[in-house]
Structure 1
Amino acid sequence: MSLFRQALFLLDITRSQGIVRRYFVVNGFDGALTMLGLIMGFIVSEPVDLSMIISVCLGAAIALGMSGISSAYISESAERKYALGKLERSMISDLHGSAHGVASRWVPLLIGLVNGLAPLIISLLILLPLWLAHAGVNLPFPPLYAASFVALLLTFLLGVFLGRISGVTWLRSGIQTLLVALITASLIYFLAGN
């Protein structure tokens, strides 16, 4: 059994697919809004060197990733141990070596990785225009505005993903998440820019 199939099997027997999807969307959304917030803060501030902007945003992205991995792993590990203990008591059996025992050890790690990698990867995608500009690539827009556009686009796509899962029209769901991002950017622009 491939590693991917085994991961799917473990998620299936613990009924954790929904948790993984929620963590991906929620923390991906957190990553997108955090980067958008930082970038908007730099847009309304005095000009700062692009390398400093990249360093600050990269530091925040790494912190979001580590926080997501560790917090989800710790909480899910406790939940899985509790659920396994409850199952063992009801079956009057040691399930440490069973599929459920393996799942109680591996599912928290899988969930933690999704929880942490979602905001990290989304943040890195948003930072891509900054890295390209820093490397000397000519962009059609100033790098901070290009990064803001990527953040808005990814937020919209997360909404589309949510819409497809929930059965709501993808466009409506995408526009809802985009509106949240636009309101966030507007609040930062008007409150921090004055």
Structure 2
Amino acid sequence: MLGLIIGFMVSDPPPVAIIISACLGAAIALAVSGVSSAYVSESAERLRALEQLQDAMAVDLGESFHGDAARWVPMMIALVNGLAPLVISMLIMMPLWLAHAGVQLPVAPLKMAVLVALVLIFFLGVFLGRISGVSWWRSGLQTLLVALLTAALITFIASN
């Protein structure tokens, strides 16, 4: 979403309604792609693991807790994999919706959306740092740096 918004910023931005439609389309496509790809890969992995366990135990585990997990876990992982970027995208788009509704923002809606995206990316890094046991501050700054470098690259390429 950050890349799309940066792209709109470096071009002659169309009306906010068009930006919202493009961002919403990208967010929905990302969610559908995330759900479907995670489901396909997780289902294959879980079924393979279940088959290996069944072979080792010489028993059918289709109606067991393991069989249930092999069916439900891929769905749950797929939902999280699709809904997480959709929700984050909606949060990033919030300044655009507010501006479209006539709410006066302290800065331009695209700049505010970039700011929201950068804050969320920093907090993603903080989260990743906390769960991996490394410095949350350093992890947050690293993810923020990657986002800033990506934005700079998009800006550089678009302006040449």
What range describes the TM-score normalised by the shorter chain of this pair?
over 0.9
Give the structure 1 partner of residue 21 of structure 2: 55
**Which consecutive unaligned segments of at least 5 residues does structure 2 have?**
none
Give the structure 1 partner of residue 144 of structure 2: 178
Instruction: Provide the C-alpha distance between the structure 2 equivalents of 1:174 and 1:157, rounded to a whole number of angstroms.
Output: 6
Residue 193 of structure 1: how far off its partner (Å): 2.4
SS of corresponding position for 1:97: coil
Instruction: Provide the C-alpha distance between the structure 2 equivalents of 1:168 and 1:47, rounded to a whole number of angstroms.
Output: 40
Describe how 1:27-176 pairs up with structure 2 within 5 A: 35-176=1-142
Instruction: Provide the C-alpha distance between the structure 2 equivalents of 1:93 and 1:36, rounded to a whole number of angstroms.
Output: 50
SS of corresponding position for 1:185: helix
SS of corresponding position for 2:14: coil
Residue 47 of structure 1: how far off its partner (Å): 2.6
Instruction: Provide the C-alpha distance between the structure 1 equivalents of 2:13 and 2:39, rounded to a whole number of angstroms.
Output: 39
Give the structure 2 partner of residue 24 of structure 1: none
Corresponding letter in the other structure for 2:65: A
- CA offsets per residue over residues 112-146 of structure 1, 9 Å max, x none? 01111111111111000000000001100100000
4+ residue segments displaced more than 6 Å? none
**Which consecutive unaligned segments of at least 5 residues does structure 1 have?**
1-34
Instruction: Provide the C-alpha distance between the structure 2 equivalents of 1:75 and 1:163, rounded to a whole number of angstroms.
Output: 26
Corresponding letter in the other structure for 1:187: L
Describe how 1:179-194 pairs up with structure 2 within 5 A: 179-194=145-160
Give the length in aligned residue pairs.
Answer: 160
Tell me the TM-score normalised to structure 1 length. 0.81
Instruction: Provide the C-alpha distance between the structure 1 equivalents of 2:29 and 2:47, rounded to a whole number of angstroms.
Output: 27
Corresponding letter in the other structure for 1:119: P
Instruction: Provide the C-alpha distance between the structure 2 equivalents of 1:183 and 1:60, rounded to a whole number of angstroms.
Output: 21
Residue 169 of structure 1: how far off its partner (Å): 1.0
Instruction: Provide the C-alpha distance between the structure 2 equivalents of 1:96 and 1:162, rounded to a whole number of angstroms.
Output: 35
Corresponding letter in the other structure for 2:149: I
RMSD: 0.7
SS of corresponding position for 1:48: coil
Instruction: Provide the C-alpha distance between the structure 1 equivalents of 2:73 and 2:100, rounded to a whole number of angstroms.
Output: 39
